[in-house]
Amino acid sequence: MKKILQIISDAPLFNGLSEEQLNDVRQISVDKFCDKGKTIFLEGDDCNGFYIVADGKVKIYKVSFEGKEHILHIYGPGNPFGEVPVFAGRKFPANAQTLLKSHLLFFPRTAFVDLISKNPSLALNMLGVLSMRLRQFTVQIENLSLKEVPGRLASYLVYLSQEQGRTDVVTLNISKGQLASLLGTIPETLSRILTKMNQQHLIDTRGRNIILKDLSGLEDLAEHGKLQ
C-alpha cells in the first residue's frame, strides 16, 4: 500500500503545496476502506465532507425514476469527488458507489474549509479542480445534446487514445454496459454501433481492447460525422 502522504502529494488538488501544508492536509484526512459495490453516498444525503480516491475506482451516477442509471464520471486514484456540497448547500447532487475494492480518504467539511481559508494556494487549486470539472461537464452536455451516439462513442475513443498515449489500440477499463451508461445510451445500442464501426474498418474490437484502425476517421466522426 502506498503511503498516504504520497497519495496526497500526487493528487492534483494538492499540487505544489509545501511539506508543511501537506502535513496539515494529512492531519485532517480520515481513511475509509470499501469493498466493491459499496454505496458511499446517495443523492440527497447530507454531506459533511468530500473524498479522494487513494486506490480503486468509484462511479458517480444519477438514477431516473424508472431505475435507469446514467454514469456521470468514473474516478480513479488521485481524483477527488463529492466536493460540490462542501461549498454549496448541504446535499450530494448524485450517487457514488465503488466499482472495485477501494481505499478512500475522507476530508471533513469544517476542517477543510478552515485549511482553505488559511492557504490561498490550496484555495486556488480547489478552484482549478472545480473549473476543470465544469469544463468537462460542458463537453458532456455538448455531446449529449449536439451529437448522436456514434459521435459520442468516437469522442470517447479519441479521449481514451490521448489518455493512454496510444494511437493504435485502447483498452476499456469499464464494462461495455457501463460505457453505454456513461455515453447516455443502452448496451444494445452501443453494441450495434461497435458492430457498424467494425464493418466500416474504423475499429476492430477484441473484447475490451479496441484496435483503432482509422483514428482520423474517428476524430472526424467525433467532430461532426454520421455513421452510414
Q: What is the three-class DSSP state of 161?
A: helix
- Out of 36, 90, 118, 166, the only residue in the binding site for a copy of itself (CB under 8 A) is 118
Q: Give whole-number Cα distances, 51 to 38, 95, 170, 175, in Å.
A: 14, 13, 29, 24
Binding site for DNA (CB under 7 A): 66, 68, 148-150, 175-178, 184-195, 205, 207-208, 226
> If binding is defined by CB under 8 A, does position 120 make contact with a copy of itself?
yes
Distance CA 135, CA 198 (A): 31
Are 4 and 56 contacting, i.e. CB atoms less than 8 angstroms apart? no
Cβ closer to DNA: 71 or 126? Answer: 71
Provide the minimum distance between the beta carbon of 127 and DNA in the complex, in angstroms, as a whole number: 35
Distance CA 217, CA 222 (A): 9
Residue 4 touches which of a copy of itself, DNA, none (CB < 5 to 8 A by kind)?
A: none
Distance CA 161, CA 165 (A): 6
Residues that bind a copy of itself (CB under 8 A): 62, 64-66, 68, 70, 72, 83-89, 93-94, 113, 116-118, 120-121, 123-124, 126-128, 130-135, 137-142, 144-147, 184, 223-224
